[in-house]
Chains A and B, each alone.
Chain A
């Protein structure tokens, strides 16, 4: 059967790995290619780079990081951040990304997702859904690291993006991101149960039980975390073993030959 995926995420700014706490107060912590190689060897199921470089001047930097990573890593790689046009997607895929994640551009022009899926195939188009609770049981889409409201209701938006050909949704709770207090499980479950495509739960992982909860209670097909791996709190192997022990179908970590 298909296994639940465990995905470390690296926030990359101007070619360097950082991790934001609520998207501010960034701490520089290393070379992305170095980190990618480490996660590949550790048996991570996929890897995600989120390019949070603010200006488009430095777009070439992420392409270089992607191509150097693809040259050394034998694992599926998703890249998000600054994807605004078909040409951005083409460049990232040619550099060696397997999937690209579209965020703000989908909000500005939802048809962009349709065009991208038709051109490259749904399997490589991820839509990032950044949601914040606005009232009990209601979440809305926010942009710019959770600062700007869009008024879009999150579950309906997720359904629309899946209908437009997104092959996967990267769902981040902007309330939980960087807090280490666990996924927003009600949000994760509401979205996962409403769409036919895989949902990656993101935002808030602080313990290994949080990963289990994301799948069990949130119904996520994959769980993404950054700082618990990045700062060495837990290893990929520990996380997988913990999830497997909780009864979640995981791919065992294979020793490198």
Chain B
């Protein structure tokens, strides 16, 4: 069994994520089915595209129960990336309203366009730890750090106590959340060069 199982549900840039984990110094395997999550030491939930479609695929693959079992009951650390983070919300408002995993209170809504704020939020932005928010895994966001973002939807209505990172974009955009053994990023660590590699390494060393 490798160090990390990447949930392969047909909605992620799996190849990049796998390479990034390998570069950071660990082995990752793609899940062949939900049962692979039950034994996994660590889990990575990637995701690109529309959140509703991604959620449908996660459900159709039988992964929702397995994630509950492995992460929420057994406490396996999980890293969620981009749409993978958005799936944690209760409601996904993108091409209709879809039900998310509901692991955190809040919903996924379209980023509001404003003067100085083009949508998608595309490129490198500085992420900081908000006062009174959740603690990221040790080593992550000890200082403000640049990561790569590419998204048109954001988490909204979050409990400030779960927000582990924020980015300033004509208003604050939730950039990372932490709840129990889940750490989730709106940005793409697997595309964030050296800083992304460090984040993955810190997640892999995270003792929950």
Residues of chain A touching chain B, judged by Cβ–Cβ distance below 8 Å, are: 1-5, 40, 43, 45-46, 67, 70-71, 74-76, 93-96, 98-99, 118-124, 167-168, 196-198, 221-222, 251-252, 254-257
Q: Which residues of B contact A1 (CB under 8 A)?
A: 125-126, 168-169
Q: Check A2–B16 contact: CB distance below 8 A.
A: no
User: 1/0 per position for B166-208, CB-CB distance to A under 8 A?
Assistant: 0111000000000000000000101111111110000000000
Q: Which residues of B contact A43 (CB under 8 A)?
A: 193
Query: Known interface pairs A93-B13, A254-B193. Does A222 touch B118 (Cβ–Cβ under 8 Å)?
Result: no
Q: Which residues of B contact A70 (CB under 8 A)?
A: 15-16, 19
5 A-B pairs within 8 Å (CB atoms) are namely A2-B124, A94-B15, A123-B150, A167-B120, A168-B122
Q: Which residues of B contact A254 (CB under 8 A)?
A: 146, 193-195
Query: Nearest Cβ distance between residue B195 and chain A, in whole angstroms?
Result: 7
Complex CA–CA separation, A8 to B16 (angstroms): 20
Q: Check A75–B193 contact: CB distance below 8 A.
A: yes
Q: Check A121–B49 contact: CB distance below 8 A.
A: yes
Query: Known interface pairs A98-B150, A124-B48. Does A256 touch B16 (Cβ–Cβ under 8 Å)?
Result: no
Q: Check B125–A76 contact: CB distance below 8 A.
A: no
A-B contact count (CB 8 A): 112
Q: Check B123–A74 contact: CB distance below 8 A.
A: no
Q: Which residues of A contact B148 (CB under 8 A)?
A: 75-76
Q: Number of residues in B with C-beta < 8 Å to the partner? A: 39
The reply on B23 being an interface residue by CB < 8 A is yes
Q: Which of B115-142 contact A (CB under 8 A)?
A: 118-126
Complex CA–CA separation, A99 to B126 (angstroms): 22
Q: Check A98–B13 contact: CB distance below 8 A.
A: yes
Q: Which residues of A contact B13 (CB under 8 A)?
A: 93, 96, 98
Q: Check B152–A121 contact: CB distance below 8 A.
A: yes
Majority secondary structure of chain A interface residues (helix, strand, loop or mixed): loop
Complex CA–CA separation, A75 to B15 (angstroms): 13
Complex CA–CA separation, A67 to B168 (angstroms): 33
User: 1/0 per position for B2-41, CB-CB distance to A under 8 A?
Assistant: 0000000000010110011001000000000000000000
The reply on B72 being an interface residue by CB < 8 A is no
Q: Check A167–B122 contact: CB distance below 8 A.
A: yes
Complex CA–CA separation, A98 to B46 (angstroms): 13
Q: Check B152–A123 contact: CB distance below 8 A.
A: yes
Q: Check B49–A120 contact: CB distance below 8 A.
A: yes
Q: A94-B15, A197-B120, A252-B146 are in contact. List 14 more A-B contacts (CB 8 A).
A: A1-B169, A2-B125, A3-B126, A45-B124, A74-B23, A76-B188, A93-B13, A98-B191, A121-B49, A167-B120, A197-B119, A198-B120, A198-B122, A257-B194
Q: Check A74–B190 contact: CB distance below 8 A.
A: yes
User: 1/0 per position for B43-68, CB-CB distance to A under 8 A?
Assistant: 00000111000000000000000000
Partner of A3, one of B48, B118, B146: B146
Q: Check A196–B118 contact: CB distance below 8 A.
A: yes
Q: Kindly report which residue of chain B lies nearest to residue A126, judged by CB atoms.
A: B122
Complex CA–CA separation, A96 to B17 (angstroms): 10
Q: Kindly report which residue of chain B lies nearest to residue A255, judged by CB atoms.
A: B194
Complex CA–CA separation, A254 to B146 (angstroms): 10
Partner of B194, one of A4, A76, A96, A256: A256
Q: Which residues of A contact B125 (CB under 8 A)?
A: 1-3
Partner of B15, one of A45, A95, A121, A167: A95
Complex CA–CA separation, A198 to B122 (angstroms): 8
Q: Check B19–A71 contact: CB distance below 8 A.
A: yes
